């Protein structure tokens, strides 16, 4: 992806990156998020797990328990965090997420 494509597809922009897709474990801006980002400095796509409180990203490590991870992961897949939306959602084979 080019920088111009990232800018055009971004749902949010920060000083560090363009957020391309995301899923929240709770209230947006006040919970854990799993995001697909395009970093400005390196110019690459990355996956970020971050913890937000009061609309600001914390600087502490992000922890999530196993029962909460599954719904967050499923929503991230639906939201296109790992690939373009739906590309692996309908995949055939051992990684079939349709039943989540």
Structural domain contains residue 92: no
pLDDT in tens, 36-94: 999 999 999 999 999 999 999 998 888 899 898 999 999 998 888 987 644 444 545 44
Per-residue model confidence as pLDDT tens digits over 19-28: 999 999 999 9
Residue 86 lies inside a defined structural domain of this protein: no
96 part of a folded domain: no
Write out the residue range of the structural domain in which residue 14 sits. 3-78
In a domain, 83, yes or no: no
Instruction: Give which of 53, 97, 56, 47 is closest to 77, Cα–Cα.
Output: 97
Q: Is residue 56 part of a domain?
A: yes
Model confidence pLDDT, tens digit, residues 63-76? 899 898 999 999 99
Q: How far is CA 6 from CA 45, 55, 95, in A?
A: 9, 22, 28
Domains in the chain, number: 1
pLDDT at 35 over 80: yes
């Amino acid at each position: 992806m080019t920088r111009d494509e990232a800018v055009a597809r971004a749902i949010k922009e920060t000083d560090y990156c363009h957020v391309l897709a995301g899923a929240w474990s709770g209230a947006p801006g006040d919970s854990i998020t799993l995001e697909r980002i395009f970093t400005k400095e390196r110019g690459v796509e990355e996956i970020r797990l971050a913890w937000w409180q009061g609309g600001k990203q914390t600087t502490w490590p992000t922890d999530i328990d196993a029962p909460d991870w599954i719904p967050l992961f499923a929503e991230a897949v639906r939201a296109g965090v790992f690939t373009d939306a739906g590309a692996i959602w309908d995949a055939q084979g051992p990684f079939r997420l349709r039943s989540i």
